[in-house]
Amino acid sequence: MITSNGQARADRRLPTHPVVMVLYDGVQALDVTGPLDVLAAANDHGGRYRVVALSPGGKEVRTTSGLRLAADGVLEEWVGRIGTLMVPGSPNWHVPVEDHGLIGELTRLARSADRVASLCAGAFPLAAAGLLDGCRVATHWRQADQLAAHFPSVQVDRDALFIRDGRIITSAGVTAGIDLTLSLVEEDLGPETARAAAKDLVVFMARPGGQSQFSVRLRARYCRSATVRAVLDAVAAAPHVDHRLDALAARAGVSVRHLTRLIRQETGTTAARFVEQIRLEAAQGMLESGTDPLDTVARRSGFGSAETLRRAFQREFGITPGAYRARFRTTQPECPRAPSGPAGDTMPAGRVATARGGGPVNGG
């Protein structure tokens, strides 16, 4: 079960901010609990979020993990003010989209909400309600093409972790809902409160990078053009070779102009951008799993020099390759070597392991 309070130390001078979290069968548990934990942490630092979890008929719902969540009230009966309406997602997004009762209630509640937020695939029911028409939105990278295909009036950004478009805020997969909620806390209460909440939860206040770090190699699989698929597969297989546009076109046996048009149509980006993303992904893998010097990583991933690699990382992720390696190489804390005693004996077992790096070990 979930509880949706956590306001014991709230500052009574601040107005209460009502948050409605919509529950329905098949939601991802972390889409619900992650944002609620952020709001509870913010309340511990002066916030006054009052969270109400509502479900159709007020019924208990079952998440994809099997966890059952209890609602605070009946979705159809809510008539109060809403500061933030939050809609979690379901991997089986067809089910909520085809639930006309749920879509009708989302449409109704959104009219009285100051802002509306979707978490992961929560963008699908919002799109079905017509609330995302003309908006630039984010969703899980694996479902981005599906969202764009089923709702062509929605402008899908396949890389963003979360996007604010007017009063609509949409986020990418699962833990990006935590990123989104921290941004709302910062908007409401300032960066210090958001930073304090992030520290309590041991997550990044602002996570480096976008969804391209998870999805770029998969794009080639979904290309309809065999020519583009072959070109992109070749780039992914050997990021260190010459992948300038004229070389790609020559290998594909087409003109530069024709290949440029095909790649733009199939991927929504340029060949140069795709090549850089592949090389960044290759470098990420080497940094996460190996100890090679940066010069070696740069050469093997196709950047040529450590300086070029550093500039690309700074531009894409906002951190250096060295900082990335320290943060993301492992989710296991680094255990310091036990010093030897006077007779060569090591320190007794049970020493506390310490996480190293420029931020939390696992930022979600």
In three-state form (DSSP H/G/I as H, E/B as E, the rest C), the secondary structure along 170-196 is EECCCCHHHHHHHHHHHHHHCHHHHHH
User: How confident is the model over 140-166, as a mean pLDDT?
Assistant: 88
> Which segment of 92-101, 129-138, 160-169, 328-337 scores lowest on mean pLDDT?
328-337
Residue 205: band (very low, low, confident or very high) from pLDDT cuts 50, 70, 90: low
> What is the C-alpha to C-alpha distance for residues 323 and 303, in angstroms, rounded to an integer?
18
The average pLDDT across 268-291 equals 85
For the chain, give the percent of residues with pLDDT over 90: 50
Per-residue pLDDT band at 300 (split at 50, 70, 90): very high
Please compute the mean of the pLDDT values over residues 166-175 and round it to a whole number: 86
Q: Tell which residue, 104, 99, 100, 136, has the closest CA to residue 118.
A: 136
- Choose from 119-123, 187-191, 213-217, 329-333 the range with maximum mean pLDDT: 119-123
Q: Tell me the mean pLDDT in the region 278-305.
A: 89
Q: How confident is the model at residue 198 (pLDDT cuts 50, 70, 90)?
A: confident
Rounded to an integer, the average pLDDT of 39-67 is 96
Answer whether residue 351 shows pLDDT above 60: no
Q: Mean pLDDT throughout 10-16?
A: 61
Alpha helices in 14-143 (DSSP H): 29-43, 94-97, 100-111, 123-128
Q: Which residues contact 326 (CB under 8 A, 6 or more apart)?
A: 356, 357, 358
Name the E strands within 131-177: 136-137, 155-156, 162-165, 168-171
Three-state SS for 279? helix
The pLDDT confidence band at residue 358, using thresholds 50, 70 and 90, is very low
Average pLDDT of the residues of the chain: 82
DSSP symbol at 217: G
Residue 204: its pLDDT value, please? 59
Q: What value does the mean pLDDT take over residues 226-246?
A: 86
Cα separation values, 38 from 31, 164, 195, 198, 205, Å: 12, 18, 11, 8, 11
| Cα of 343 vs its chain's centroid, Å | 51
Q: Is the pLDDT of residue 194 over 90?
A: no
**CA-CA distance, 238 to 243, in Å (whole number)?**
9
Look up residue 113 and give its two tokens.
């909400």
- Is the pLDDT at 69 greater than 80, yes or no? yes
Q: Is the pLDDT of residue 10 over 70?
A: no
Range with the lowest mean pLDDT among 50-64, 206-220, 222-236? Answer: 206-220
Contacts of 187 (CB under 8 A, 6+ apart): none
Residue type, 346: T
CB proximity list for 79: less than 8 A, separation 6 or greater: none
Q: What is the pLDDT of residue 201?
A: 85
Question: Which residues contact residue 273 at a Cβ distance below 8 angstroms, ignoring those fewer than 6 apart?
Answer: none
pLDDT for the residue 274: 85
Spatial neighbors of 99 by CB under 8 A, at least 6 apart, are 24, 56, 125
Residue 14 pLDDT level (bands cut at 50, 70, 90):
low
Spatial separation of the C-alpha atoms in residues 87 and 164, rounded to whole Å: 15
Is 233 or 182 the better-scoring residue by pLDDT?
Answer: 182
Instruction: Give the percent of the chain with pLDDT over 70.
Output: 80
Cα-based torsion angle of the residue sequence 251, 280, 122, 28 in order, rounded to the nearest 10 degrees: 110
How far from 20 is each of 65, 109, 113, 336, CA to CA, in Å?
A: 22, 9, 9, 45
* Cα of 121 vs its chain's centroid, Å: 11
More confident site: 90 or 230: 90
Distance from C-alpha of 22 to C-alpha of 114, rounded to nearest angstrom: 16
Q: What's the pLDDT score for residue 236? A: 81
CB 325 within 8 A of CB 288: yes
